[in-house]
């Protein structure tokens, strides 16, 4: 890869919940009970194709219903009635016409009866959010604001749950209840990026009148029926889609770049469904819709955040009065399925476990665990050679599920095999420190400018902004290697790069340097952006020398470079040579 590789910015707003909607929601109007049309005598004897279709009980696709409220919707009960009526009255071999009587047509159920069947639907709200995303290409300003719509639902304690990506980089959030024409201003209490859940509240007492909070149910079993309720694109009213639980395993959460327990369902989840609840057949919430799989070989594959993850998020907030995250063990491990490998590591025939490949230097367990240790059990639960643990009857799941049930600061008993000796360690769990973080937690990106060189730190949102959704294929190989495999050696280590060069006479010949890591400054290694800014500000040498990746060097006259910086800032209307967070650190 050439060091002068041009970036391809793809300024596309992303919705981690789903791709483009293909339609298919059942509108609220379609769920209203309709009185069946009377059948005339002539139709009974010579039914039209549509009548015959209903008489045979032909299935109709819900997603093909017309949005015209005047179009009648044939319910399963009504189809059964017509089928029965055709059999009873249509057998007229002698040509006699038998007319139907109005006494055989039941009256339509009242609206109050329908509401009582699905009372939890009234707790589902529509979320309106105005986002103002950071501009990673021009970190001293933000992008143009835009609006989005998603779903949420009311829980106990005058709170509302929705997806984190639904309110990410929010400047204003409003909620609207079902059947209401009023939008209420909401406050974001907590955002859980890893689990893609956000907690909101509304100060207006009127919002909470006449609404019962959603109750949570147990983790569903495979093939259990689920109903996803929300406000997807394609209409303004509430939408209901149904399906079953088809899979339950550790899933990759797109927004959080983490792996947590998730449910796969075959109900359609479209853009706007994000944050809506998934109910079981008893009306209890068993999850939150948050993403779907859009692939040419797959249809109607949606994913739901299950109740264990939701409860963990809520209790984490209640314990610490803020969201602290899901702890991790901070290791990379290898399966021990090969018998020769197990024998060489000193494992007996009855022993099972996984081998530690690497340990995060910043993780607390790095003080006690060592590479090539065999983890036999976690908190008393034995780990199989493939890294799974018993989950429920007939099911197994990755042992990271056990870790994700813990809270930041909790301790866990880890049993390992080291040199044929069994050891036990009580390890305090903590959150994961990544060299390239998955999120910037709503903060504006840090930057530092000197002589037109824009220095910043690399994060996943930065890579996505520079190279689009396919950044894992389009970004420079060196950055990807660090993103996928590099480990931070200290808690304050950052990956600092030259984002771009603002052209000026002082930097002639350096204009094509883009997204290249800064390795050292005047012979001293660059640990983070703050350290680089301090070294540049305090530099009194005649020249400033930046050592970059790919063995490139940048040499500038110290005096001329600092003098040119002010003119460059003025030319590009940049208010400051460094971000506010670096200024605050300098003052401290």
Spatial separation of the C-alpha atoms in residues 62 and 199, rounded to whole Å: 33
Question: Computed over its alpha carbons, how large is the radius of gyration of the chain?
Answer: 30
DSSP letters, 139-206, are TTSBPPPEEEEEEEEEETTTEEEE-TTTSTTEEEEEEEETT---EEEEEEEEEETTTTEEEEE---GG
**Which of these, 130, 227, 222, 137, lies nearest to 185 by C-alpha position?**
130
- At 19, list the tokens: 């791709």
Question: For residue 310, what are the contacts with CB-CB under 8 A and spacing of at least 6?
Answer: 161, 195, 197, 216, 287, 288
Distance CA 322, CA 314 (A): 10
Q: In the block, which residue shows the tokens 């009306």?
A: 283
Q: Which tokens belong to 294?
A: 């859009």
Only one residue has tokens 């050439």, namely: 2
Of these residues, 274, 400, 465, 579, which one is catalytic?
Answer: 274
Residues 6 or more apart in contact with residue 79 via CB below 8 angstroms: 54, 57
Could you give the C-alpha distances from 46 to 42, 73, 132, in angstroms and in order? 6, 22, 62
Q: Please indicate whether residue 165 is annotated as part of the active site.
A: yes
Catalytic residue of the set 165, 255, 312, 483: 165
Q: Which of 509, 355, 332, 511 has its CA nearest to residue 432?
A: 332
Give the active site residue among 196, 255, 377, 483: 196
Q: Please say if 274 is a catalytic residue.
A: yes
Distances (CA, A) of 558 to 516, 543, 565: 21, 5, 11
Nearest Cα to 183, choosing from 231, 234, 144, 226? 231
The SS3 assignment for 261 reads strand
For residue 14 the two structure tokens come to: 């992303």
- Would you give the DSSP letter of residue 458? -
Provide the CA 159 distance to its chain's centre, in angstroms. Answer: 20
Q: Is the dihedral of CA 385, 388, 390, 393 positive or negative?
A: negative
Distance separating alpha carbons of residues 176 and 556, to the nearest angstrom: 57
Catalytic (active-site) positions: 165, 196, 274
């Amino acid at each position: 890869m050439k060091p002068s590789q041009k970036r391809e910015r793809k300024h596309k707003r992303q919705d981690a919940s789903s791709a483009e909607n293909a339609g298919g929601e059942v509108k609220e109007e379609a769920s209203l009970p309709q009185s069946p049309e009377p059948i005339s005598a002539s139709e009974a004897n010579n039914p039209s194709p549509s009548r015959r279709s209903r008489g045979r009980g032909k299935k109709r696709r819900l997603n093909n219903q017309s949005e015209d409220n005047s179009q009648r919707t044939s319910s399963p009960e009504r189809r059964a009635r017509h089928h029965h009526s055709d059999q009873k009255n249509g057998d007229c071999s002698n040509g006699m016409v038998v007319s139907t009587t109005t006494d055989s047509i039941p009256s339509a159920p009242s609206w109050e009866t329908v509401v009582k069947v699905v009372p939890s639907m009234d707790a589902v709200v529509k979320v309106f959010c105005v986002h103002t995303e950071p501009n990673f290409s021009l970190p001293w300003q933000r992008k143009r604001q835009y609006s989005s719509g998603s779903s949420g639902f009311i829980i106990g304690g005058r709170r509302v749950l929705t997806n984190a990506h639904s309110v990410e980089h929010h400047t204003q959030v409003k909620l609207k209840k079902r059947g209401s024409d009023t939008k209420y201003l909401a406050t974001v209490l907590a955002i859980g990026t890893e689990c893609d859940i956000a907690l909101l509240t509304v100060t207006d007492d009127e919002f909470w009148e006449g609404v019962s909070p959603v109750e949570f149910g147990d983790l569903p079993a495979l093939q259990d029926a689920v109903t996803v309720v929300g406000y997807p694109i394609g209409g303004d009213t509430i939408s209901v889609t149904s399906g079953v639980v088809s899979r339950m395993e550790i899933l990759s959460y797109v927004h959080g770049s983490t792996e947590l327990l998730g449910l796969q369902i075959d109900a359609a989840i479209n853009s706007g469904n994000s944050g809506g609840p998934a109910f079981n057949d008893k009306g209890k919430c068993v999850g939150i819709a948050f993403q779907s799989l859009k692939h040419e070989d797959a249809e109607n594959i949606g994913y739901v955040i299950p109740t264990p993850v939701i409860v963990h998020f809520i209790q984490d907030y209640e314990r610490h009065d803020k969201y602290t995250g899901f702890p991790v063990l901070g290791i990379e491990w290898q399966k021990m399925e090969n018998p020769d490998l197990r024998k060489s590591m000193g494992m007996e025939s009855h022993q099972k476990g996984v081998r530690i490949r690497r340990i995060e230097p910043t993780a607390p367990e790095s003080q006690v665990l060592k590479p090539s240790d065999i983890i036999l059990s976690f908190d008393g639960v034995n780990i199989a050679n493939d890294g799974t643990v018993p989950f429920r009857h007939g099911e197994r799941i990755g042992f990271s599920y056990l870790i994700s049930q813990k809270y930041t600061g909790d301790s866990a008993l880890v049993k390992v095999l080291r040199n044929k000796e069994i050891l036990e360690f009580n390890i305090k769990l903590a959150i994961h420190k990544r060299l390239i973080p998955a999120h910037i937690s709503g903060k504006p990106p840090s930057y530092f400018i000197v002589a037109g060189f824009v220095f910043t730190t690399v994060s996943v949102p930065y890579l996505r902004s520079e190279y689009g959704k396919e950044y894992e294929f389009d970004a420079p190989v060196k950055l990807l290697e660090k993103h996928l495999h590099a480990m931070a050696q200290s808690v304050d280590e950052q990956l600092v790069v030259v984002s771009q060069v603002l052209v000026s006479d002082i930097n002639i010949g350096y204009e094509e340097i883009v997204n290249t890591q800064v390795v050292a400054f005047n012979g001293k290694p660059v640990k983070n952006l703050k350290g680089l800014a301090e070294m540049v500000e305090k530099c009194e040498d005649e020249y400033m020398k930046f050592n970059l990746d790919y063995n490139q060097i940048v040499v500038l006259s110290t005096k001329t470079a600092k003098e040119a910086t002010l003119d460059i800032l003025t030319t590009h209307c940049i208010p400051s040579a460094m971000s506010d967070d670096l200024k605050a650190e300098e003052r401290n």
